[in-house]
Amino acid sequence: MIEIPNMLQCCNGVMSREKTETDNNLAHHGVAASSFTALYEEHMTYVFRYINYRVGNRNEAEDLTSVVFEKALAAFHRYDRKKAAPQTWLLTIARNTVTDYFRKSSKRSSLPLESAVGIESADPSPQEETERREEYEQLRVCLATLAQREQEIISLKFGAELNNRQIASVLGLSENNVGTVLFRAVCKLRNCFKDWSNEKR
């Protein structure tokens, strides 16, 4: 439970209690709002990146990020920082949300062309821009060929920027196992990307 200072003092009458309770509500709201805003500002980007790696579609990643934070808001009063670090808590919600999304939509990581629209580059030439988009698209193709657990670990590492110990904690794996799977997954991505580059030439 988030610790919110109890400002409700002793009440000697209905009027004074009402006044104090109103103050308390305001204070409660202020503390909860600022705590939640801080949580949002600090972790939103990581949650979005994690989801974007998983679903491979910017629009859907934004929708699911909204769902995650709405769920987090609804459960915020029950959240106990002592039991889980904020990022672990949010990413657990995000993982479940993505899993639900895949189950409901019977989809796996998708690769729509429009996902590349958001790529930014410092004044690239049209040719460079095209190459960047192709590379980006191919990375997504390669990512989608990985096993679910590998995608999960890649997303938690590159998207959420968790260290291996944190990933192990989120996934219930050993830290060693995370390191092994991560390295192999990146090697698979590298090989997939290399094959594509060679074919392109």
Partner 1 sequence: MKKGKYTEKQFIEYLDRLLAGEEISLGDDVSDEVRSALELAKKMLAYRDEPSPAFRANLRDRLLRKLAEEEAAAPARREERRDWTAKLFPQSLVWRAATSAALVVLLVVIGAIWYAGRYGQMSAPAPAPPSPMLEGDYPVSLPSNIVPEHVAFMADTALSAKPGQAQVYEIQGVDITTESVTELGKRLGFSGEARFIDGGAKIAMFGGEGEDMRELIVWTASGAIEYGYVEPDKLYPPYTPGLPSQEEAELIAYDFLQQADLLPPGYEDFARVEDEAAVIAGGSYSVGERYAEETVQQAPAYWLVSFPYRVDDNWTTGPGSNIEVSIGDGGEVARLLWSWRQMTPRTTENIISQKQAYDALIQGEGSLDIPLNCEQVVVEDVQLKYWINPPSEKQDYAVPVYEFTGRCLDKSGRHIEDFTAWTEALSKAY
Separation between Cα atoms, residue 49 and residue 158, nearest integer Å: 8
Q: Total binding residues for partner 1 by CB under 8 A? A: 72
Here's the x/- map for partner 1, 48-87, by CB under 8 A: it reads as xx--x-----x--xx--xx--xx--x--------xxx---
Single residue of 1, 9, 147, 200 touching partner 1 by CB under 8 A:
147
Candidates 23, 131, 161, 195; binder of partner 1 (CB under 8 A) is: 161
Residue 20 is a binding residue for partner 1 (CB under 8 A): no
The radius of gyration of the chain from alpha carbons, rounded to an integer in Å, stands at 22
Stretch that binds partner 1, among 1-9, 123-131, 179-187 (CB under 8 A): 179-187
Q: How far apart are CA 181 and CA 187, in angstroms?
A: 10
- Terminus-to-terminus CA distance in the chain, angstroms? 58
Burial 153-183 (b: 16+ CB within 10 A, else e): bbbbbebbebebebbbbbbebeeeebeebbe
- Window contacting partner 1 (CB under 8 A); options: 1-9, 122-130, 143-151: 143-151
- State the Cα–Cα distance between residues 25 and 23, nearest whole angstrom: 5
83-142 residues in contact with partner 1 (CB under 8 A) are 83-84, 92, 95-96, 99, 103, 106, 108, 115, 118-119, 132, 135-136, 139
Other CB atoms closer than 10 Å to residue 44's CB: what's the count?
14
| Long-range Cβ contact pairs of 41-44 (< 8 A, separation 24 or more) | 42/86, 43/86, 43/87, 43/90, 44/69
Minimum Å gap between C-beta 183 and partner 1 is 4
Among 145, 183, 195, 200, binds partner 1 (CB under 8 A): 183
Q: Which stretch binds partner 1 (CB under 8 A): 3-11, 123-131, 151-159?
A: 151-159
Among 7, 8, 44, 141, binds partner 1 (CB under 8 A): 44
Q: Which is nearer to partner 1, 194 or 200 (CB)?
A: 194
Member of 43, 87, 90, 169 binding partner 1 (CB under 8 A):
169
CB atoms inside a 10 Å sphere around CB 35: 17
Q: Which listed residue (87, 89, 153, 164) binds partner 1 by CB under 8 A?
A: 164
DSSP 109: S
Question: Residue 3 — left, alpha, or beta (φ > 0 → left; ψ -120 to 50 → alpha)?
Answer: beta
